[in-house]
Copies of this chain bind each other. A is one copy, B any other.
Amino acid sequence: MGPVALLVQKFGGTSVGDPERMRAVAAHVARTVRDGNQVVVVISAMGKETDDLLRIAAEVSETRPGREMDMLVTAGERKAMALLCMAIADTGIEAESFTGSQAGFLTDSTYRNAKIVDVKPSRVVEALAAGRVAVVGGAQGVSPEANVTFLGRGGSDTTAVALAHALGADSCELYTDVTGVFTTDPRIVPNARKMEKISFDELLEMTANGCPKPAMRSVEFARTHGVDLHVRSAFTWETGTIVTKEDDTMEQAIVSAVVHDADEAKVTIGGVADRPGIAALMFRALADSNINVDLIVQNTSDHGVTDISFTVPHSELDAALAICEQHTADIGATRVKGDPAIARVSVVGAGMKSHPGVAATVFETLAANDINIEMIATSAIRVSCVVAEADVQRAVVALHDAFGLADGPVYVD
């Protein structure tokens, strides 16, 4: 048994989806305590409960004021945290549940998507000092006006990271239904490898590109405050992947992972007049309609006209096309075209910053496999290509193989 450590353990909805899962999580918490650790649990609503609450709200009301939506939605985590405390009590260990307010989560008053202003977890500290497990409802807090606030979908991850930071916890464990962060989707590439370690920056590029891992906001918070994360399984309980600060002394993998996202559609606006303000006009109109534009690519102007392409979620394609068509005349465009059958594949790696040639390898690999690239976008540590949806799985397999990811990372010299 090692020295006493203070651990924050966060469990998502799937991990506590039914009474059996509740008891399995309680047993794991009890094991952790019996190993000599202090444990603070952050819990999400059970299974699809948050969706159920949103659905009944839509059935009851058209206006759905934010203050009341937050009161409603946070009821899901209250239920889950009370039930988990009961299950922990059955193991002979005392546990106390705390709402966001009781746990000291002070937020602003932005209902539905409140920002944490401060965390003053004195009741959590007292519970730990008394030898108890503290179970905190995720994604909730209290506003300056003493109203209940909701941090938004995925807010439980943020709760866990902020609490780990405020308590100076030794580890922030994010339990989920996968065993860690993989070099690519194991359903597509059977020899995908679970990574021992990954940097915040790399994970951010991955979560932004369809990797179903911790909420971006929580990873950004963890990076800013230097809270190491441990992404691991609530089903097998094996060691997962550590997410930590990229360190100059740490070896940097040239390419860490290949990720893909098939829930995208492409819009191309052709023959656009190439003068200032055109792009601004179009993307302001899309933003005003709450359309989530992701990749944007504009080619160099040719004879005073240019093409602009961008991607949006599948579900927003029709709305995006309608808006673009409304503005066709204003921007002097000749045509608007939508393509739902696309997907994005990206390679991510902190080491590529100092290692030229990754993009070239990506393009060569796709070409060698007869996969046409429709759009390209890059960041310092990522190369993304939009390809036909039918080609994406082959692209993932080819790139994972090309960078030798199954065998372990290739480090920068």
Chain A residues proximal to chain B, CB less than 8 Å: 19, 22-23, 53, 56-57, 59-65, 67-69, 71-72, 74-76, 78-79, 81-83, 85-87, 89-90, 95-97, 99, 102, 123, 146, 148
Majority SS at the chain A contact face: helix
> Which residues of the partner chain B approach A72 to less than 8 Å between Cβ atoms?
78-79, 82-83, 86
6 smallest CB-CB distances across A and B, nearest first, come from: A61-B86, A72-B82, A19-B59, A71-B82, A68-B85, A68-B82
CA distance A342 to B75 in the complex (A): 44
Minimum CB–CB distance from A2 to chain B (whole Å) comes to 30
Q: How many copies does the complex hold?
A: 2
Known pairs A57-B86, A63-B86. 9 more at Cβ < 8 A? A19-B59, A19-B60, A61-B89, A64-B89, A71-B85, A71-B97, A72-B86, A74-B78, A75-B79
> Which residues of the partner chain B approach A146 to less than 8 Å between Cβ atoms?
102, 123
> Which residues of the partner chain B approach A59 to less than 8 Å between Cβ atoms?
19
Minimum CB–CB distance from A189 to chain B (whole Å) comes to 38
Minimum CB–CB distance from A127 to chain B (whole Å) comes to 11
Minimum CB–CB distance from A271 to chain B (whole Å) comes to 46
CB closest chain-B residue, reference A92: B63
A-B contact pairs, 16 of them (CB 8 A): A19-B60, A22-B60, A61-B89, A61-B90, A62-B90, A63-B89, A64-B86, A67-B96, A68-B82, A68-B96, A69-B86, A72-B83, A75-B75, A75-B79, A78-B78, A102-B146
Minimum CB–CB distance from A286 to chain B (whole Å) comes to 29
A86 touching B68 by the CB < 8 A rule?
yes
Minimum CB–CB distance from A385 to chain B (whole Å) comes to 45
> Which residues of the partner chain B approach A75 to less than 8 Å between Cβ atoms?
75-76, 78-79, 82
Looking at A63, A76, A99, the one whose CB has the most chain B CB atoms below 10 A away is A63
A23 touching B60 by the CB < 8 A rule?
yes
Minimum CB–CB distance from A15 to chain B (whole Å) comes to 14
B56 touching A68 by the CB < 8 A rule?
no
Knowing A23-B60, A59-B19, A102-B146, the reply to whether A81 touches B71 (Cβ < 8 A) is yes
> Which residues of the partner chain B approach A78 to less than 8 Å between Cβ atoms?
71-72, 74-75, 78
CB closest chain-B residue, reference A73: B82
Minimum CB–CB distance from A10 to chain B (whole Å) comes to 19
CA distance A71 to B135 in the complex (A): 12
> Which residues of the partner chain B approach A53 to less than 8 Å between Cβ atoms?
79
> Which residues of the partner chain B approach A85 to less than 8 Å between Cβ atoms?
65, 67-68, 71
Minimum CB–CB distance from A179 to chain B (whole Å) comes to 25
B61 touching A83 by the CB < 8 A rule?
yes
> Which residues of the partner chain B approach A90 to less than 8 Å between Cβ atoms?
61-63
Minimum CB–CB distance from A28 to chain B (whole Å) comes to 15
Knowing A71-B81, A78-B72, A97-B71, the reply to whether A86 touches B60 (Cβ < 8 A) is yes
Minimum CB–CB distance from A44 to chain B (whole Å) comes to 14
* Pick from B19, B65, B76, B148: contact of A86, CB under 8 Å: B65
CA distance A87 to B57 in the complex (A): 9
CA distance A19 to B87 in the complex (A): 32
CA distance A89 to B69 in the complex (A): 12
> Which residues of the partner chain B approach A148 to less than 8 Å between Cβ atoms?
99
CB closest chain-B residue, reference A79: B75
Knowing A71-B81, A78-B71, the reply to whether A87 touches B60 (Cβ < 8 A) is yes
CA distance A260 to B224 in the complex (A): 69
CA distance A74 to B75 in the complex (A): 9
CA distance A85 to B68 in the complex (A): 7
* Pick from B22, B56, B65, B67: contact of A19, CB under 8 Å: B56
Minimum CB–CB distance from A16 to chain B (whole Å) comes to 10
